[in-house]
Amino acid sequence: MVLSLAKEQYWNTLEAFTNDYYKKTSDPVYIFWRAFAQYQLGNPNAAINDLLSIQQKKEVAYACIVALLYYQGKARNTDRVTPP
């Protein structure tokens, strides 16, 4: 189900689906997919926060590291001051 929602680019539905199933199962894979949906919806900071919460889980550790590197490279840094 998750892959078909991602394939069809139903990001809001994917986010809602993964929220529901994470509450039922506590499987960190659903948080990983929720982070992916959030990133696709244009919210990389929320995606990064979700991935940071599960990066110590053995099932998704490598995928989280790779996704975090990618998302952090694409996220806007609001703390950076640009010279005039």
The pLDDT of residue 3 is 87
Total tally of structural domains belonging to the chain:
1
pTM score, whole prediction:
0.83
The pLDDT of residue 78 is 57
From CA 39, how far away is CA 53, in angstroms rounded?
Answer: 15
Question: Is 78 contained in some domain?
Answer: no
Question: Is 75 contained in some domain?
Answer: no
Measuring CA to CA, how many Å separate 31 from each of 46, 77, 82, 83?
Answer: 11, 23, 34, 38
From CA 5, how far away is CA 20, in angstroms rounded?
Answer: 14
Question: Is 29 contained in some domain?
Answer: yes
The pLDDT of residue 55 is 93
Question: Is 66 contained in some domain?
Answer: no
User: Tens place of pLDDT for every residue, the chain, 84 residues?
Assistant: 888 888 888 999 999 999 999 999 999 999 999 999 999 999 888 999 999 999 999 999 999 999 999 988 877 665 556 566
Q: Which tokens sit at 68?
A: 């975090």
Question: Is 70 contained in some domain?
Answer: no
Domain of 9 in residue numbering reads as 2-57
